Amino acid sequence: MMNGFSIGQKGQRGAVLIVSLVMLVAVMLLGIAGIRGTSLQVRMGAGLYDRQIAFQAAESAIRDASAVVATGANPVFDGTNGLYPLPPVVNNGTWVDRWDDPAVNWRGGTAIANGPKHITPEFIVEDLGTWPDPPDCIKQVPRPPLCLSARYRITARSGEAGAERQVVLQSTFRP
């Protein structure tokens, strides 16, 4: 015995061990929850990045299509190479959506590269005929010589049909 102070087995019951194990489990569960939250945020950020690149590629395809039908280009709208005549009308008077038709020949646009992402967008151009510009010029007598001008519907997509991340943009273009 040293100065009346002794460590006996009688006073130890292991309560500190149990409390520390419970606290360790609690800290581990908090860590796992944090990891799950962080990994979800990383996936959301990657999805947003992919969508932005796809959107930029589709916008690029609209610019490419606009250049094809610009004044003086004289494209032939015969259903080849992404150029189509007026959309056909079905029995009930509605237009046929060519961008949903798997038989449509899409025309490739300028490839977009951003880091590891490489996307080649596609587009179709539909000739919508001539329209008055400005709209009230058709009422003028005599009609101004440049009253009627060509209109085109441009549809661009940034990936294959059914792709996981695909952006489809549509624009009406007047040269």
- Tens of pLDDT, residues 93-110: 777 788 888 888 899 888
For the cut 80, the answer to whether the pLDDT of residue 165 exceeds it is no
Buried b (16+ CB within 10 A) or exposed e, 115-130: eeeebbbbbbbbbbee
- CB distance 160 to 166 below 8 Å: yes
CB atoms within 10 A of CB 56: 17
For the cut 70, the answer to whether the pLDDT of residue 158 exceeds it is yes
Q: Using alpha carbons only, how large is the chain's radius of gyration in Å?
A: 33
* Exposed / middle / buried, residue 171 (Cβ in 10 Å: 0-12, 13-18, 19+): middle
On average, the pLDDT of the chain sits at: 82
Residue 163's pLDDT band (cuts 50, 70, 90): low
Q: Report pLDDT for 27.
A: 92
Q: Report pLDDT for 11.
A: 61
Lowest mean per-residue pLDDT among 21-30, 114-123, 148-157: 114-123
**Tens digit of each residue's pLDDT (9 = 90 or more) over 3-38:** 555 555 566 677 888 889 999 999 999 999 888 888
Phi, psi at 58, each rounded to 5°:
-65, -40
User: pTM for this structure?
Assistant: 0.70
Q: Which residues pair with 153 in a beta bridge?
A: 126, 172
Residue in the block written with tokens 């519907």? 153
Q: Report pLDDT for 160.
A: 55
Residue, of 159 and 115, whose pLDDT is higher: 115
How much is the average pLDDT of 124-138?
A: 84
Residue in the block written with tokens 């002794």? 6
User: Which amino acid belongs to residue 149?
Assistant: S
How much is the average pLDDT of 150-159?
A: 88
Q: Report pLDDT for 54.
A: 85
- CB distance 70 to 174 below 8 Å: no
Half-sphere exposure of residue 107: CA atoms within 13 angstroms, side-chain side: 22
Residue, of 116 and 53, whose pLDDT is higher: 53
DSSP 8-state class, residue 159 = S
